[in-house]
Structure 1
Amino acid sequence: MTYFEFRDQLKRARLTVREFASLVKMNENSITNYSQKGAVPSHLAVIALLMGEMADHQIEFRDIIDQMEIEQKKPRGAPIKFGMSHAKPALQG
């Protein structure tokens, strides 16, 4: 599914990207980054499509998803350490 189609499904579900990210316990930036790739992973596409269909049939999905214990997705990559000096100490003597 293209990112544009994904956004259309979210509109059908009456959700913003921020609301979708909150429901599925993802970082909003992780989702918006797919706009640069042009497509979203199939698991997010399926979720958005089902949410859109449920909204079209007046089936409330937010409360159901909120009741689930979804584990927060862990950030990938090495943590950034600010304020650390990488310079080697000068030799004395």
Structure 2
Amino acid sequence: MTYVEFQRHVGKAGLTIKAFAELVRMNRISLSNYAKRGEVPSHLAVIAALLGEMADQGIDYRVVLSRIDIASKKPRGAGKNGRFGGNPARELDRFKEDGPTKQSH
């Protein structure tokens, strides 16, 4: 689905892009980045289309979604603790005298 079509469905549901992102527990900027690509992933397209159709049919999607425990999406590359990178306190022994030597390329 194109981003423009996605925006139309989100608007039919009475939402802004920011409100949609909050509803599905996504980072608003991650969602807005799809505008640059011109398309949204199919799972977001399905959600937007269903929300727009539910609004057209007079069904309050907020009641339906309130019954679901939606977990926040972790940033890409996030580790177990939800942060980027490793454990900075862990000592790297790659270049220690008693550790492995540098490998030649």
TM, length-normalised to structure 1: 0.80
Corresponding position of 1:52: 52
Corresponding position of 1:5: 5
Which has the larger share of helix? 1
Structure 1 unmatched ranges of 5 or more: 81-93
Corresponding position of 1:75: 75
Matched pairs, number: 80
Give, in whole Å, the separation in 2 of the partners of 1:18 and 1:66: 18
Q: CA deviation at 1:30?
A: 0.7
Q: Say what the alpha-carbon RMSD is for the aligned residues.
A: 1.3
Corresponding position of 1:25: 25
Q: Which runs of 4+ in 1 moved over 4 A?
A: none
Q: CA deviation at 1:11?
A: 0.9
TM, length-normalised to structure 2: 0.72
Q: Which has the higher contact order (CA 8 A, sep 6+)?
A: 1
State percent identity of aligned pairs: 52
Give, in whole Å, the separation in 1 of the partners of 2:66 and 2:32: 22
Structure 2 unmatched ranges of 5 or more: 79-83, 86-105
The structure with the largest alpha-carbon Rg is 2
